[in-house]
Amino acid sequence: MPIVDIHTHVYPPSFMELLRSRTTVPYVRTFPDAPDSSRLIILPGEDNPSTPSTSRGRPIGPEYYDIEKKIAFMDLHNISTSVISLANPWLDFLPAEEAADAARRINDEVNSICSQYPGRLYAFGTLPLSGPVDTVVSEIERLNGLKYMRGVIMGTSGLGSGLDDPRLDPIYAALQKHEQIIFLHPHYGLPSEVYGPRANEYGHVLPLALGFPMETTVAVTRMLLSGVWDRFQGLSVLIAHSGGTLPFLAGRIESCIQHDGHLKSAGKIEGRRSVWDVLKKNIYLDAVVYSEVGLKAAIDASGADRLLFGTDHPFFPPLEEDAKEWHSVTTNYAAISKAFEGAIQGSAEDVLGNNAVRILRLHD
Amino acid sequence: MPIVDIHTHVYPPSFMELLRSRTTVPYVRTFPDAPDSSRLIILPGEDNPSTPSTSRGRPIGPEYYDIEKKIAFMDLHNISTSVISLANPWLDFLPAEEAADAARRINDEVNSICSQYPGRLYAFGTLPLSGPVDTVVSEIERLNGLKYMRGVIMGTSGLGSGLDDPRLDPIYAALQKHEQIIFLHPHYGLPSEVYGPRANEYGHVLPLALGFPMETTVAVTRMLLSGVWDRFQGLSVLIAHSGGTLPFLAGRIESCIQHDGHLKSAGKIEGRRSVWDVLKKNIYLDAVVYSEVGLKAAIDASGADRLLFGTDHPFFPPLEEDAKEWHSVTTNYAAISKAFEGAIQGSAEDVLGNNAVRILRLHD
């Protein structure tokens, strides 16, 4: 039985080089007071000079850039195949004139890494979204020729103003045409004021546990409201963290649309596709939700044939030094197993691997 | 079989008078270009001078302040009993020196309204949270003597800096002591920048469908992280909109806590109560989630004996002029009915009324 991890990140060597060359977020630095360890600082809120350098961001080690560590992690957790993707913030921060070259270099590098472990590694490509739209479309077309690429990872920023930006239409059109799925992943979170004046007492919990899924849900809902899936009825999106909170809020979203006087006056309620229709036909969800409750809601919303196992490796390592298996992985394994106990439709095996093999055309 | 609506709002006459006397949010105004209708403007984003006055905020009619309209709505939807509460933004905006008097006046007025329909109306009281803490505690004690009061409604602002503010401890202590439940309700949403540059094309959907439940979830998670339920293990909170997104995100919240290096170094992981424990012992959820998917997740997270039917009346009226029953109500009725089809534990009857009668001691 194949177990496929579709939510697993890498910073390939050339991207590490880029991060090490920078002094503003995102960057990787070895601070003078701790010369034996490096820190990865990717979120604006993590670059706080009042935070000691040894607890700024997160430690970064070879599990982020050495593919052998990924393979060892896969072996430890019985994962047969991983679909790797560049970790956030991707190339969003690059000057426009550097983006296209960087995307080509990184996509070629990642494709080459996959070729070293045939059948065990596939990848989502990276797009030069800070550059001109035509260079993005060109890179989508070029990805078609890279053997191990199975879609693209994308943040919520789009070309800088969100995924409901009509300037993205040529990009959506190209992705739809070439049957490349978008792996939609958060990075920017919510404005820090949301977390209140005591947020620094809670570590990274609020931005990671809440900011990420909320950012994701807002982005997807904006896509829906702007009619992306009315215009591109074949556009597929795999949403990180089981859709953020979309399965739970879909009913409220649909109800608020149906009760909105402004939308009604503008003639925007009739004829549009509902969130439920999009959830069943265009959206796929990963199974990275850390509970049976969340997983069942994701299954109910989108279908057991549309959920795909993931780990979020190398993020959320165990804090215990002597831990072997990662709790963040075993929690999701357990949730998948429990969610299908006595189930009439679907199976844990589908979520663990069969769905990914079918949807992403692995082993083609 | 009793049907009890625990999420249903009023602006009693003295509060309407207050709203009509104001010119900044929140306010009620009849604009010169539409002398036959009044508008209710309660959210900062709604007070946009570029929005025509006739579509600013929402229309407000007697269903907001005339209790006979509430009773007619209840009769139409077979609701036997309503636990009414002041609608947002409550008294959060009042100058400190006016708050205590206003709370007393409004609580007495609401209690008196309930007394006109014995057995059909109960209420959650309103607290003078912009005033000194001791006046808030006094009002909690005074509410104990008002026959129809069954707890208090509260926003997420607390004393101005959130519900994780340690200055709230005397208030939590008084509520726990007097077994008054907090009905926790959103109002402030998320900063508007989250919705992007095209938000005005989407009516009220983003702030209502997403902002409200996300605000709620952040507020509850901050309470959890600050140890409110470790210090007040008997404090009960009924969370609006089925917990915002808490049932879906609980697993991620717990996982992020367990993997947080900062919390571990601070010794804050061991010994704390988990979100699951609090969901099963301190938290109650309303059943205002507009889908079977969401409702099942709420049941899975908190228990079928902890969910309580609600309508959110008078918000979300049908847009069709000739509609009789409200879609916003029938959608939730249908979700409750479907969620318990073939269920082994719990029943639709419990969620519709029995739970509220037991938990809020109605008909005492």
Q: Residues A156-179: pLDDT tens digits?
A: 999 999 999 999 999 999 999 999
- If one compares A227 and B51, the residue with the highest pLDDT of the two is A227
Q: What is the ipTM of this complex?
A: 0.97
Kindly identify which residue of chain A lies nearest to residue B209, measuring between CA atoms.
A253
Confidence band, pLDDT 50/70/90 cuts, at residue A65: very high
Compute the average pLDDT of residues B256-275: 95
pLDDT digits (tens, 9 = 90+) for A269-288: 999 999 999 999 999 999 99
Size of interface A-B (CB pairs under 8 A): 255
Residue A364 has pLDDT above 70, yes or no: no
CA distance B59 to chain A (A): 10
Task: Write down all domains in chain B, each with its CATH number in brackets.
Answer: 4-31+62-359 (3.20.20.140)
Residue B272 has pLDDT above 70, yes or no: yes
Compute the average pLDDT of residues A134-154: 98
Helices (H) and strands (E) in chain B, counts: 16, 11
Residue B35 has pLDDT above 90, yes or no: no
Given CB atoms, is A334 within the 8 Å cutoff of chain B?
Answer: no
Percent of chain A with pLDDT over 70: 100
Confidence band, pLDDT 50/70/90 cuts, at residue A239: very high
Q: A35: cis peptide before it, omega within 30°?
A: no
Preferred mutation among A205, A263, A341 to probe B, highest tally of B CBs within 10 A: A205
CA B160 to mean position of chain CA atoms: 17
Q: Where are the alpha helices (DSSP H) in A116-258?
A: 133-143, 169-177, 205, 212-225, 228-231, 240-243, 246-258
Residue with tokens 């060892």: A72
Contact between B153 and B90 (Cβ < 8 Å): yes
Pair type for strands B81-86 and B121-126: parallel
Q: Are A318 and B260 an interchain contact pair (Cβ–Cβ within 8 Å)?
A: no
Residue B209 has pLDDT above 70, yes or no: yes
Kindly identify which residue of chain A lies nearest to residue B250, measuring between CA atoms.
A291
Structure tokens at A62: 């070879």
CA distance A127 to chain B (A): 21
Given CB atoms, is A262 within the 8 Å cutoff of chain B?
Answer: yes
Question: What local confidence, expressed as pLDDT, does residue B73 receive?
Answer: 98
List the single residue in A252, A254, A316 with the smallest CB-CB distance to B255. Answer: A316
SS3 state at A82: strand
Given CB atoms, is A210 within the 8 Å cutoff of chain B?
Answer: yes
CA neighbor of B249 nearest in space, from A86, A41, A214, A285: A214
pLDDT digits (tens, 9 = 90+) for A19-39: 999 999 999 999 888 888 899
Contact between B235 and B284 (Cβ < 8 Å): no
pLDDT digits (tens, 9 = 90+) for B60-102: 999 999 999 999 999 999 999 999 999 999 999 999 999 999 9
pTM of the full structure? 0.97
Contact between B55 and A261 (Cβ < 8 Å): yes
How far apart are the C-alpha atoms of B250 and B279, rounded to whole Å? 9
Question: What local confidence, expressed as pLDDT, does residue B33 receive?
Answer: 84
Question: What local confidence, expressed as pLDDT, does residue B343 receive?
Answer: 81
Question: What local confidence, expressed as pLDDT, does residue B357 receive?
Answer: 98
List the single residue in B164, B217, B291 with the smallest CB-CB distance to A196. Answer: B164
Residues in A touching B318 (Cβ below 8 Å): 259
User: For residue A199, what are the CA distances in angstroms to A296, B217, B222, B327, B352?
Assistant: 31, 14, 8, 39, 37
Q: Are B252 and A206 an interchain contact pair (Cβ–Cβ within 8 Å)?
A: no
Residue B46 half-sphere exposure toward CB, CA atoms < 13 A: 28
Q: Are B209 and A221 an interchain contact pair (Cβ–Cβ within 8 Å)?
A: yes
Classify residue A318 by burial, with Cβ atoms within 10 Å: 0-12, 13-18, 19+.
Answer: middle
Question: What local confidence, expressed as pLDDT, does residue B295 receive?
Answer: 98
Structure tokens at A245: 């909170």
List the single residue in B208, B214, B225 with the smallest CB-CB distance to A202. Answer: B225
pLDDT digits (tens, 9 = 90+) for B279-327: 999 999 999 999 999 999 999 999 999 999 999 999 999 999 899 999 9
Residue A130 has pLDDT above 80, yes or no: yes
